[in-house]
Amino acid sequence: MKKLILSLLGLLILSQSPLFAQKGKELVLGVGGAITNVWIVNQNFYGEPEVDYAPKVGYAANFMLGYNITESISIMTELQYSLQGQKYDGKQNIGGINYNVERNLDLRYLNIPLFFKTSFGDKMTRFRFMVGPQIGLLLEATQDYTRDGKRLETRVDDQNGKSFQTDATSIDDRFEKTDFGIAFDVGADIHVSDQFFINAGFRGNYGFTDINAEPYQLNDIDGEYTPSHNLWSGIFVGICYKIDVQGYSQRSF
């Protein structure tokens, strides 16, 4: 995390240097948001019977900082607040009794991607592709887990032999605090003036990290454990402002 912050600061400092302040280089600031379809690949029910997946809608809100190295090549990073997680809906047999289960798992992250961007097109509309690594910092993990509309307060032991309630509401300790992954974006930048443009497109993110904390990496009812990974995709829309670094650096005061 420290190296990532230093890299971002270095980008800001470098963007003001004489080497970069030429040939129409531009600093880009923006805000945006996305409506997303979120999933957790491979569920973890802590040794209890698993339940069918159900669709879950999430969202993201972003602050963007970018640097146009050339007209077609850029670097961009973001601070992104993201609601992720998974819904489950189905039947579960506990102690010989069948229950109708609803489980809504909310994971809130601060995601920080570093995009490498390429674009093409005319002055007013430029199509883009962005891809790069991303680190996700877990802010909060909660769940609403009911069987026949109520909590059974069932308990199992974690890897350390410590008993915990499977359907508890606050579950921060059950997940890794960081998630390393990859993010990509395909879309267009539509200029409404020389400085302002709207960016819209399709965005996706896959986490390489097993999000389950080690004590909670428990085998399923078949005696096997499968790592869980974050996955989301959705439609992103934002508005950005370009600062002409060349023009700024050439001013005399």
- Over the stretch 129-184, which tens digit does the pLDDT of each residue have? 999 999 999 999 999 999 999 999 999 999 999 999 999 999 999 999 999 999 99
Give 207's strand partners.
181
- Average pLDDT score over residue span 55-60: 97
Say which residues have a Cβ less than 8 Å from residue 187's Cβ, sequence separation at least 6: 127, 128, 199, 200, 201, 202, 203, 236
For the chain, give the percent of residues with pLDDT over 70.
Answer: 87
Report pTM: 0.86
Does the pLDDT value for residue 6 go beyond 60? Answer: no
The reported pLDDT for the residue numbered 245 is: 74
CATH topology of domain 32-249: Porin (2.40.160)
Q: Which tokens go with 33? A: 């948001």
Whole-number Å distance between alpha carbons of 86 and 217: 17
- Over the stretch 109-127, which tens digit does the pLDDT of each residue have? 999 999 999 999 998 999 9
Interior/surface letters 20-35, b for 16+ CB within 10 angstroms, e for the rest: bbeeebbbbebebbbe
The reported pLDDT for the residue numbered 25 is: 85
Say which residues have a Cβ less than 8 Å from residue 128's Cβ, sequence separation at least 6: 117, 118, 119, 185, 186, 187, 188, 189, 199, 201
The overall average pLDDT reported for the chain is: 90
The reported pLDDT for the residue numbered 1 is: 52
The reported pLDDT for the residue numbered 123 is: 85
| Distance (Å) of CA 164 to CA 4, 160, 185 | 35, 11, 40
Does the pLDDT value for residue 15 go beyond 70? Answer: no
The DSSP call for residue 49 is P
- Over the stretch 188-199, which tens digit does the pLDDT of each residue have? 999 999 899 999
Does the pLDDT value for residue 9 go beyond 70? Answer: no
Burial, 77: exposed, middle or buried (Cβ in 10 Å; 0-12, 13-18, 19+)? buried
Whole-number Å distance between alpha carbons of 248 and 253: 11
DSSP assignment of 181-237 = EEEEEEEEEEESSSSEEEEEEEEEEEE-S--B-GGG----TTS-----EEEEEEEEE
| Distance (Å) of CA 76 to CA 42, 56, 169, 203 | 31, 28, 36, 14
Does the pLDDT value for residue 248 go beyond 90? Answer: no
CB atoms within 10 A of CB 223: 7
Task: Enumerate the H helices of the chain as residue ranges.
Answer: 2-15, 245-249
Query: Residue 19: pLDDT band by 50, 70, 90 thresholds?
Result: very low
- Over the stretch 215-244, which tens digit does the pLDDT of each residue have? 999 999 999 999 999 999 999 999 999 998
The reported pLDDT for the residue numbered 8 is: 47
Does the pLDDT value for residue 40 go beyond 60? Answer: yes
Residue extents of the structural domains in the chain: 32-249
The reported pLDDT for the residue numbered 244 is: 84
